[in-house]
Amino acid sequence: MKLDDAAARLEALGNPTRLKIYRTLVRAGEDGMAVGRLQDRLDIAASTLSHHLKALVGVGLVTQTREATTLICRTNYGLMRGLLEYLVEECCAESKRCAPAKAPIKLPKAA
């Protein structure tokens, strides 16, 4: 992942409203969640929600698929994992202090 892409994704997550949206979608699991249900759950204006979702979709962190009249939103797990791997590398690259952690963080594999 390029630095500019990583920055764009971090920026997308770097807003409380968007981070709440993302977290809610992660917790919805592979079934995803309709835009309307997100709106009920988070209690924000539909236009605001649409705006933020666009930002998350724009950087690839969220995908959308139609299902009849509703749009189902899902997180792109692989991309998030890539972002985390990028950050871990950035936290460690060219440093001599890269011994394995006592409690290494384990990421779940993609569903």
Site stretch for a copy of itself (CB under 8 A), options 35-43, 47-55, 66-74, 97-105: 97-105
- What does 28-47 look like in DSSP terms, one character per residue? HGGG-EEHHHHHHHHT--HH
CA distance 84 to 68: 34
CA distance 11 to 33: 23
Q: Judged by CB under 8 A, which of 15, 39, 63, 64 binds a copy of itself?
A: 15
Residues lying near a copy of itself in the complex (CB under 8 A): 3-4, 6-16, 18-20, 22-23, 26-27, 29-30, 75, 77, 80-81, 84-85, 87-88, 90-102, 104-109, 111
